[in-house]
A and B are shown apart, each in its own frame.
Chain A
């Protein structure tokens, strides 16, 4: 089946640093990618939707200048958490929509811990 590769799986960083998370569709082209965030014991919440070659659409309450999303190709989207703070510690997961089948596939997630 289709695979979405997400890296890194876990990252620990100091407060104030920036962290980049990559999401790649390995055997399909992803027209649209979605970035979700999940705090402990909470549901996955959509942060933003990115379409290849255009600016991402952010959900209400998500700072676009803090969470930079780049979707430069049909197989790669990146989420950069800029100047991370402890409250940004969370589980981040991407989802990619197959251009042909229109099915959704999820990455394995990234656990971010900001000290």
Chain B
């Protein structure tokens, strides 16, 4: 069974710092990997989606990498802002899963002014 682990569980940084969130998964046979942002009382917002054949994706200050063979992905956030404070979830889509996702527990990020 696919297990998704996110490290660290929580992170607090001062505004302006660059930071890296880590995600690992046990089964390298994935269809894609996705990073989400979850705000309290709100749904999930998709940040970046990396197909299994891709190595990275970028959107603004966010960059996500994927090393499928080692079962790892990182989410890099540049020049963090207080508005980035949220829980970040990593999810993998196994092949033949019918679009169902396996989620990690998330990293709770706090960016202080």
Contacts and interface: CB of A to CB of B under 8 A. Distances in A.
Interface in B71-113: 89, 91, 98-106
Given A42-B105, A43-B4, A43-B105, A6 B99 contact: no
A81 interface: no
A93 B45 CA distance: 13
A46 interface: yes
Interface string A71-112: 000000000000000000000010101000011101111010
A109 B105 contact: no
A36 B36 CA distance: 15
Interface residues of B, number: 19
A4 interface: yes
B42 to A, nearest CB: 5
B41 interface: yes
B17 to A, nearest CB: 25
Contacts of A41: 105
A7 to B, nearest CB: 12
Contacts of A115: none
B101 A46 contact: yes
Interface of A: 4, 6, 9, 32, 34, 36, 41-46, 49, 93, 95, 97, 102-104, 106-109, 111
Given A42-B105, A49-B98, A109-B41, 18 more contacts: A9-B41, A32-B98, A43-B4, A43-B89, A44-B89, A44-B101, A45-B103, A46-B102, A49-B100, A93-B44, A95-B44, A104-B99, A104-B101, A106-B36, A106-B43, A108-B43, A109-B42, A111-B41
